Structure 1
Amino acid sequence: MATTQALIPPHIGAAVIDPNAYAAWSPLLDQFDWLRDNGLRVGKVVAPDDSHEPFWHIAGFDEVMKVSKDNQTYLNNPKSAVFALRSTEALAKAITGGSPHLVESLVQMDAPKHPKLRRLTQDWFMPKNLRNVEAQIRTIAEASVARMLDAGGEGDFTKLVSSPYPLHVVMQILGVPESDEQRMLVLTQQMFGGQDEELNQSGIKNLPPEMITQIVAGAVKDFEAYFAALAAERRKCPVDDLASVIANGTIDGAPISDRDTAGYYIIAASAGHDTTSASTAGAMLALAQDPAQFALVKANRALLSGIVEEAIRWTTPVQHFMRTAATDSELGGQRIAAGDWLMINYVAANHDPAQFPDPRRFDATREANRHVAFGAGAHQCLGLHLARLEMRILFEVLLDRIDRIELAGEPARAKSTFVGGLKRLPLRWKAA
C-alpha cells in the first residue's frame, strides 16, 4: 500500500467539481488524461478553503469499476451520494431533519434495504416485460420524428426530440397524464440543472450554492406532493402501470414508507428521461459531425446497438456518484481509510484510453464497448434496458426519415457536475 497520499493539483481539483468545466468538456477530458498520465488514477482532492470535505477522485476505468462493484466496502450512505459543499450539505440536513439526502431513493440506499426496494420493480424493467410497451414507444418515437420534420429543415434537436421523447415515454409508463408532462420536465431541470441558469429557470446567473440547494429542495417538495396524490389514487384504483407497482409495494409484509414511495417515483420520473435525452442528443451531435458515419449506420442497421452503446459511453449523462468507505481498503495504490469520501467519475472512466482506444472518437463500430455509464454492481441503473430500447427505436425511425444531418449552429452543454449533456443542438436536416 502507498504510505503517502497522492494529491491532485488544486486547479484540477477545482475543475472536477466546477459545473462550468463539464459544460466545456474537452478541456476537462484533458485534465483527466493528465491525471492518468501522471499516476493519479486515484488522487485526493483537498479544498484550499475547506469548502468541502476532502475526497478521493477516481479517474481510471478499472478503479471505478472496482468501487462500483464492491458495495460492501464502498457505501452510498451515510454521506451524500453526490458531491456537495459543506454549506449545502448543512442546508440539506436542516431541510430534512438530519439527512444529507434531499431525496431518499435507491441511489442513496445500501443493503439490506436497497435490494428489497429494488426488487419491487426490477422485473418490470426487464426486456421480457418491456416488449409489452415496445409498440407504444414506437408510436411515441414516430410522432416525435414527425414533429421534428414538421418544423421544417432546421431546429434545436433537444427541444424538438431528445427532451420531449423520453419524457413522454417514461411518463406514459408511470401513468402521468400528458397534460402534466411539462411540469415534470421543469421540476427535473430544476433538480438536475440547478447549476445552469437556463435550466433552473431562475433568471439569475452564478447562483450561490445555497440558493441552488433551495431550488432543488423546492423541486423535490413539488415532486413529493404530486406523487403523493398519484400514489393515493393508485392505491384506491390500481391499473397496469409502474405507478401502481410502486404505490402498492410492500417489504417484509409492510407497505413502504411515504418517503421511500416518493423517492421511488422521483428517481423513476427524473432519472428516467433526462439521461436518455442526453445520450440521444449526443448521438445526433456525433453523427452530424461525421457524415461518413451517418451514412454507414443508415445503410447498416446492424450498427444500431453500436450507436446506442457508443452514445451512452461518449456522452456519459450521469457524470459521477460519491461513495463512503466502510472499512480500510486499497485502491489504485492508495490507502483509503474507513470514512473516506470517494468520487467515482464516470466521465473520466469512460474516456480512459486503457479501456477505450481513441476514447474521444464516436465510433458506432467500437468493439467490446464495456462502458460504465450505467454503473455496475448492485446499483447498476435499473432502467438501462428501457433506455437502450427507447434509443434503438428512435434511431430506427430517424434513419428511415432523414437522409442527411449537419450542425446549424454551436451546440451547448449544461453546466452541471451531476447529470449533464447537451442543452442545445441546432441541426439542419434533409428528410428522406
Structure 2
Amino acid sequence: MVESPTVEELEQSIRDAQDKFNAGMGADGDASPYPLLKELRAQSPVHPGWPEMGLVGNPDVGPQTFTAYSFDAVKAVFTDNITFSTRCYEDIVRPLQGPTILEMQEPEHAVYRKLHEFAFARSSMKRWDGELVGPLVDQTIAKFKADKRADLVDAVFMPIPVRVIAALLGLPEADVLWFHRLAIDMLGFRADMEAAMTASAQMKDYFVDILAEKRRSPQDDMVSILAAAEVDGMKMSDEQIYGFMRNLLPAGAETTSRSTASLAFALLTHPDQLEAVRTDRSLLPQAIEEGIRWETPLLNFMREVTCDTELCGVHIPAGATMMLSLGSANHDESRWRDAEQFDIFRERKPHIGFAHGAHVCLGMHLARLESMKIFNALLDELPGLRLDPDAPAPFITGTMFRSPSRLDVVWD
C-alpha cells in the first residue's frame, strides 16, 4: 500500500512545481523586460513580430505576428473584440481546460459572461470579506506571527489566493494542496505539456464528482450557483462548468498571488511609501492599483485578427496573431509621468492590468478584496514589517509572468 504524501511533502511539491513553472515562463534572475519595452515603444506603438521574444519582423509566407506596445494601441485592440478575436485561445486553452468563456465570440460570449457573473456577484463580496477572505488571512498569518521572520511569498502570497478559490468552489480543505499542485502543473504547459495534460485530466475527473454532488445538494458556492444559473433560457453545460473550474484557479489565484507579492516588494523597497500606507490605510486602494500598473503579473495577451485592418498606421492582415504587451502599455510615458517608477501618489489613471472591454477580468473585484485584506492584516499583525537585512536582496523575475520568487522579511 502506497502512503499518501504528508502536508510537508505536498507543500514542497508545490514549491518544486512553481520553480519549474517559473523557469518555463522565462524567470531567469533579475533581468527586467522594461528597458527593451521602453525602447520598442519609443520606436513605434506597433511592431511586426514579437521583438522582445526574439521574433523580429515577419516571414514572407505563413501566419504573421504583430505586437502592440503603447497604452492606446493595446486598449484599442481590447476594445474591438470583433476585429481582434479571442478565438486563438481555442487551440491553446481548450485542450487543457475544456470550453471556457475566454475563447467565446459574440453573441455567445455576452450570454455566457452574464452566466459567469452570477458567480462573481458584487452582492457576494461582503459575505466573502467577512466569512471567507478575512478569517483565512488571519489564520494564515497567525501560523507564523511569533516567528518574527518569514518568506512572505511562501507563507502568504502563494497559499492564500488558491485557498480562497478552492473555498469559493466548495472544495474540501483536505484537497486544497493537491488541487494547487495540479493547477500549477496545468498552467505550466509551456514547460511540460505532458504534465499539464495529465493534471488537466485528473482535475476534470475530480470535478465530475464535485459538480454531481453540488447538483444533488446545492450549497452557497460558485459551482452550485453556476449549475443553477440561467440567462434567456441558456444554462451552462457540465463541460463548460468544468472549464470554468479548471480556468478559475490558474487565472484567479496565480495572478493575485503575483500581484500581491509584487506590491509587497514595491512597498518594502520604498519604505517612505510603506510608512504612508501603514499610517493612512485610505492610501491602500491606490497602492494596489499602482502595484498592478508598475508590475503587471501577466505581461502578454494575444488576439487573432479576423479581417484586414490598420492599427496606429500599421497594416495588419486577416489571420495574423496580435500580441498585446500589457507590461509595456502600463509603463507608457505618454500616459504616466515617470512611468518606470513606483509611486502611489501619482495622478490616478486607470491601468490595463485586468485587460479591458468585453473580456475584462471577471475576478478583478475579488482580487482587489484579497489584496486589501492581506495588506491590512500584514500591517496590523506584523509591526515594523521590513526586509530581512540578513537575507539576499529580493528581486522581481519573469518575462511572461512576473513577481518576486522570495520576499524575506522580519518584524518586531
Scaled to the shorter chain, the TM-score interval is 0.7 to 0.9
Q: Give how far 1:412 is off.
A: 5.6
The match for 1:43 among 45, 48, 57 is: 48
Tell me the equivalent position of 1:135: 130
Tell me the equivalent position of 1:201: none
In structure 2, C-alpha distance between the alignment counterparts of 1:365 and 1:26, rounded to whole Å: 27
Cα distance change, pair 154–346 in 1 and its aligned pair in 2 (3 A): same
The match for 2:330 among 350, 354, 358 is: 350
1:69-148 to 2 correspondence within 5 Å?
A: 69-77=79-87, 79-80=88-89, 103-136=98-131, 137-148=133-144
| Matched residue count | 381
The match for 1:287 among 254, 264, 267 is: 267
In structure 2, C-alpha distance between the alignment counterparts of 1:24 and 1:252, rounded to whole Å: 51
Counting aligned pairs with the same residue, the percent is 29
Tell me the equivalent position of 1:34: 39
1:116-265 to 2 correspondence within 5 Å?
A: 116-136=111-131, 137-150=133-146, 152-195=147-190, 212-250=192-230, 253=233, 255-265=235-245
Residues 140 and 160, structure 2, Cα contact 8 Å, conserved in 1: yes
Q: Deviations over 1:355-408 (max 9, x none)?
A: 222222222223223111100001000000111011111111111122231143
Residues 310 and 369, structure 1, Cα contact 8 Å, conserved in 2: no
Cα distance change, pair 304–161 in 1 and its aligned pair in 2 (3 A): same
Cα distance change, pair 401–369 in 1 and its aligned pair in 2 (3 A): farther
Tell me the equivalent position of 1:411: 394
Q: Give how far 1:342 is off.
A: 0.4
> More deviation in 236-245 or 107-116?
107-116
In structure 2, C-alpha distance between the alignment counterparts of 1:194 and 1:155, rounded to whole Å: 30
Tell me the equivalent position of 2:287: 307
Tell me the equivalent position of 1:421: 403
Residues 350 and 371, structure 1, Cα contact 8 Å, conserved in 2: yes
1:246-395 to 2 correspondence within 5 Å?
A: 246-250=226-230, 253=233, 255-395=235-375
Cα distance change, pair 416–216 in 1 and its aligned pair in 2 (3 A): farther
Cα distance change, pair 375–20 in 1 and its aligned pair in 2 (3 A): closer
Q: Deviations over 1:268-320 (max 9, x none)?
A: 22212111110110111111212111111111111010121112222211221
Amino acid at match of 2:42: D
Cα distance change, pair 140–294 in 1 and its aligned pair in 2 (3 A): same
In structure 1, C-alpha distance between the alignment counterparts of 2:311 and 2:95, rounded to whole Å: 26
Residues 121 and 245, structure 1, Cα contact 8 Å, conserved in 2: no
Pairwise CA RMSD:
2.6
Residues 47 and 53, structure 1, Cα contact 8 Å, conserved in 2: no
Q: Give how far 1:23 is off.
A: 4.5
Residues 63 and 320, structure 2, Cα contact 8 Å, conserved in 1: no
Q: Deviations over 1:228-268 (max 9, x none)?
A: 21111111111111011223344653543333121111122
In structure 1, C-alpha distance between the alignment counterparts of 2:234 and 2:267, rounded to whole Å: 50
Q: Give how far 1:60 is off.
A: 0.8
In structure 2, C-alpha distance between the alignment counterparts of 1:101 and 1:20, rounded to whole Å: 17
Residues 316 and 347, structure 1, Cα contact 8 Å, conserved in 2: yes
Cα distance change, pair 414–251 in 1 and its aligned pair in 2 (3 A): farther
Residues 187 and 223, structure 1, Cα contact 8 Å, conserved in 2: yes
Cα distance change, pair 369–148 in 1 and its aligned pair in 2 (3 A): farther
Residues 58 and 64, structure 2, Cα contact 8 Å, conserved in 1: no
Look up the SS of the partner of 2:362 in the other structure: coil
Q: Deviations over 1:46-81 (max 9, x none)?
A: 57997x95311111111000101111111000x237
Cα distance change, pair 25–330 in 1 and its aligned pair in 2 (3 A): farther
Residues 193 and 415, structure 1, Cα contact 8 Å, conserved in 2: no
Q: Give how far 1:324 is off.
A: 0.8
Q: Give how far 1:214 is off.
A: 1.9
Q: Give how far 1:25 is off.
A: 6.2
In structure 1, C-alpha distance between the alignment counterparts of 2:294 and 2:186, rounded to whole Å: 23
Look up the SS of the partner of 1:80 in the other structure: helix
Cα distance change, pair 47–233 in 1 and its aligned pair in 2 (3 A): farther
Residues 80 and 101, structure 1, Cα contact 8 Å, conserved in 2: no
In structure 2, C-alpha distance between the alignment counterparts of 1:400 and 1:60, rounded to whole Å: 39
Tell me the equivalent position of 1:12: none
In structure 1, C-alpha distance between the alignment counterparts of 2:116 and 2:95, rounded to whole Å: 25
Cα distance change, pair 147–355 in 1 and its aligned pair in 2 (3 A): farther
Cα distance change, pair 64–109 in 1 and its aligned pair in 2 (3 A): same
Tell me the equivalent position of 2:5: none
Look up the SS of the partner of 1:385 in the other structure: helix
Amino acid at match of 1:80: Y
Tell me the equivalent position of 1:68: 78
Residues 30 and 395, structure 2, Cα contact 8 Å, conserved in 1: no
> More deviation in 403-412 or 293-302?
403-412
Residues 103 and 220, structure 1, Cα contact 8 Å, conserved in 2: no
Residues 169 and 221, structure 2, Cα contact 8 Å, conserved in 1: yes
